[in-house]
Amino acid sequence: MQIVSANGASIPALGFGTFRVPGPDTERMVAHVLRNGYRHIDTAQIYGNEAEVGDGIRHSGIARADLFLTTKVWVENYRHVAFVASVDESLKKLKTDYVDLLLLHWPNATVPLAEQIGALNDVARAGKVRHIGVSNFNRVLMREAAALSELPLVTNQVEYHPYLDQSAVIETARSLGMSVTAYYAMADGKVLSDTPLKEIASRHGKSVAQIVLRWIVQQGLVVLSKTVSESRAMENAAIFDFALTQDEMAAIHALSRPDGRIVSPDGLAPVWDEAA
């Protein structure tokens, strides 16, 4: 498994995501992927499946120290007291005494960012969290968060796929020593019928999903893959035995378009960067 290093964190480049995965499927798939080489699991308080993630980890037989576990604090829990209580509840559900990475799930201007970042730092200092970061932050918020934090931020988890140019966010993250973690890599399934991507996949004898995942990790980024199919999960992991050419990388970048963003919920999304 390829590792991405960022501000002291060593993050497996391929993670298994659990967004909108029902509880029983979550438990089954987490156990399966961990038994078959995955070492990075991503969940969140709002997903409602932290308990099943914990059960899947337990049933996998993989030692807790051998995997990288991420969860995210929901926006309604950003006040300091509620934040700490929510992290304790997450740890209880996950059946662990720490998570490897804790993220702010979305920006929330109703709570001062300094309070949010302070709470992240406090739970990290308490040993409940090994690393901290953010999710769905634009460049301005990333810089502000990094400046407010005494401990280093290690990632910004954002939507990223061939139709969305995130070069500005990636550049800013790198300037801060942070990684970028990509979610929605399949663009809600849209990539699977894309002709240029199918042509590249055919040349390599790979699936379109494998090509897209490879395109992201080949940029030195972290990517989350989600499926409820055991066979597809194993296929998605088979992305480290080939490389895309520079021309192929460029061709995939060229698929980006101004209306490429899919995830932008009212009341949560920040003002996105123009280049993103």
Distance of alpha carbon 78 from its chain centroid, rounded?
A: 20
Q: Which one from 38, 47, 163, 184 is the annotated catalytic residue?
A: 47
DSSP state of 13: S
Q: How far apart are CA 156 and CA 137, in angstroms?
A: 7
Both tokens of residue 116?
Answer: 């949010």
How many Å apart are CA 67 and CA 73, to the nearest integer?
Answer: 20
Written as six digits, the tokens of 8 are 């002291």
Nearest to 204, CA basis, from 251, 238, 244: 244
> Alpha-carbon distance 123 to 33, whole Å?
29
Query: In this structure, what is the dihedral angle of CA atoms 217, 222, 225, 231, given to the nearest 10 degrees?
Result: 50
Q: Is 184 noted as a catalytic residue in this protein? A: no
User: Alpha-carbon distance 194 to 171, whole Å?
Assistant: 27
Q: How far is CA 233 from CA 125, 182, 212, 239, 260, in A?
A: 35, 17, 14, 11, 25
Q: Is 131 annotated as a binding residue?
A: no
How many Å apart are CA 59 and CA 46, to the nearest integer? 23
Q: Are 173 and 213 in contact (CB under 8 A)?
A: no
Q: What is the DSSP letter of 129?
A: E
What single-letter amino acid sits at 70?
T
Q: Which amino acid is at 111?
A: V
Residues carrying an active site annotation: 47
Binding-site residues for substrate:
105
Binding-site residues:
105
